[in-house]
Amino acid sequence: MSRYAGPNGVGQPADVRGEATPPLARATLDRAAHRRTDPQWLAQAWTGARVLVLDVEAGGQTLVRTDTAVPTLVLAEADDLPPTLASEAMFLGVEPDGVPVFCVHTTLAVMPGTRAAHLREVGHRLGDRDAGLFTTALALTNWHLRHLYHPVTGEPTRADEAGWSRVDTKGERVWPRTDPAMIVLVHDGVDGVHGRCLLGNNAAWPNPAGQRRFSCLAGYVEPGESAEATVLREVHEEVGVPIRDIAYAGSQAWPFPGSLMLGFLATADPAHPLRVDPEEIAEARWFSRQEIGAALAGRPVDVGDGAQLRLPPPSSIALFLIHRWFDGHC
């Protein structure tokens, strides 16, 4: 699968169509992991560093510029921030121009030409560098917020190694956790307008008046499972349909709070009866390529009871998979 890049290889906002990279799978920053255990270098690096500020009280928002054609992250200068934030900073890496980048948590100071935004909202519109920075910072932040105690000793932990580990009072260390999950777009293998894909409405999702969201089927990888085995199991459990021709399509971080979504495509027979698990799926149905095309274009697609089809958000790998199928890149 090719990586999307603009002229001269410069990273551009994600295009979820066709062979594009999933929206939150783009990163260009050199993480310079060898610097995480060098406190002297980190202390010197803070002076003059660029800093991504996250407001955890606002759900992990950061500032983006609104006076440009493409949203861009607003990075603060470390020298302009309160000195107390230096001890809490997480080191994200080094820019191509040699400037270090950190992340801190504090209240956002909205400036003219900017606004506070969530990653879900703008991730797909950011360039590669910004998408990677925001995704990494949010994933790392969410991990810290959920690991204040050591899972084995029960002792309180503190951040260490420039934010890339936590250590308790006895020196026992834990590292960032990422939970693997699979997501699959099931389709009938038919080309053209008569092709169909299978989408589900999760029982836990809110449905705004007049809308009903349908998306790909997904689930966490269980201990002892491969990702492909999880695809088979989850589709069987959620909709009771046997699948074949499982093909890996790509992956992306989903830091809500800390998953790695492994994307797949698979085929199934639409004639096979659907048997949904009501605790997981409120409704599942096959959609034609014509219906999906209409929804992607913003035209109404009736799904019953006066509701219109709502597809997954643009920053999700689910919409990326739907586009791959719709555009014939299966």
pLDDT digits (tens, 9 = 90+) for 170-218: 999 999 999 999 999 999 999 998 999 999 999 999 888 899 999 999 9
* Integer Cα distance of 212 and 287 in angstroms: 14
Element (H, E) at 323: helix 317-326
CB 22, CB 248: distance < 8 Å: no
Range of the domain at 273: 179-326
Question: Which of 146, 165, 187 is where one domain is finished?
Answer: 146
Q: Looking at the structure, do residues 142 and 186 belong to the same domain, yes or no? A: no
Instruction: Kindly report the CATH number assigned to the domain that includes residue 207.
Output: 3.90.79.10
Q: Looking at the structure, do residues 277 and 190 belong to the same domain, yes or no? A: yes
Q: Looking at the structure, do residues 115 and 232 belong to the same domain, yes or no? A: no
Query: Does residue 141 sit within a domain?
Result: yes
Query: Does residue 229 sit within a domain?
Result: yes
Query: Does residue 71 sit within a domain?
Result: yes
Q: Looking at the structure, do residues 197 and 124 belong to the same domain, yes or no? A: no
Q: Looking at the structure, do residues 228 and 141 belong to the same domain, yes or no? A: no
pTM exceeding the 0.85 threshold for the entire prediction: yes
Query: Does residue 156 sit within a domain?
Result: no
Percent of the chain at pLDDT > 70 equals: 94
Q: Looking at the structure, do residues 312 and 185 belong to the same domain, yes or no? A: yes
- Structural domain tally of the chain? 2
Contacts of residue 160, defined as CB under 8 A and 6 or more positions apart, other chains included, come to 166, 167, 173
CB 50, CB 78: distance < 8 Å: yes
Q: Looking at the structure, do residues 118 and 199 belong to the same domain, yes or no? A: no
User: Averaged over 276-289, what is the pLDDT?
Assistant: 97
* Integer Cα distance of 322 and 325 in angstroms: 5
Question: Which of 98, 130, 146 is where one domain is finished?
Answer: 146
Instruction: Kindly report the CATH number assigned to the domain that includes residue 133.
Output: 3.90.79
Query: Does residue 267 sit within a domain?
Result: yes
pLDDT digits (tens, 9 = 90+) for 297-328: 999 999 999 999 999 999 999 999 999 999 98
pLDDT digits (tens, 9 = 90+) for 1-59: 222 222 223 344 655 544 578 999 999 999 999 999 999 999 999 999 999 999 999 99
Exposure string of 21-39, with b = 16+ CB inside 10 Å and e = fewer, is: bbbbbbbbbebbeebbeee
Strand partners, 115: 64
pLDDT digits (tens, 9 = 90+) for 213-268: 999 999 999 999 999 999 999 999 999 999 999 999 999 999 999 999 999 999 99
